[in-house]
Structure 1
Amino acid sequence: MDRFSFSLGQEVRLVRSGETGVVVGRAEYTDSAPSYYVRYAASDGRLDERWWAQSALEAAGSSHLAASQA
């Protein structure tokens, strides 16, 4: 069973900030949820890459953030 919610190369959104990026790596652990290495443009314009918990991300096409800002 695939525990990953996001595919490599998939565009994702950071739930709290709304910044979008691309999944460039994934990690699977025995005792915690998967993590994703995301390459994204930070709000100040810098290109950044960081590991994020699965719960901190959503698919970029998701309307969750857009609906909460409407």
Structure 2
Amino acid sequence: MGFKHELSQAIQVTVSGETGHVKGRAEYTTMNNQYYIHYLAADGRGADGWFGEDELSPAKEDGLVKE
């Protein structure tokens, strides 16, 4: 199965609403695709982390989720 999100795509972490960009992605045989996201955390600091494909939504550059 292919990737749902592109490299450098603006992304929103669905559960928290934090926004960032896809910096990397990984494909596995036994689990869903993973994305390495650089995002602005709720406390205002920059953060990086791996998220499952089902935890992310596309976002506009202004941080609003696309409808």
Separation in 1, partners of 2:35, 2:15: 16
Partner of 1:8: 7
What runs of 5+ residues in structure 2 fail to find an aligned partner? 61-65
Offset from partner CA, 1:28-59 (integer Å, 9 cap, x none): 00111100000001010110000000000000
Partner of 1:50: 49
TM-score by length of structure 2 reads 0.87
Separation in 2, partners of 1:33, 1:57: 12
Over 3 Å off, 4+ runs: none
Separation in 1, partners of 2:31, 2:3: 12
Partner of 1:38: 37
Structure 1 or 2: more helix by fraction = 1
CA RMSD of aligned residues (A): 1.1
Larger radius of gyration, structure 1 or 2? 1
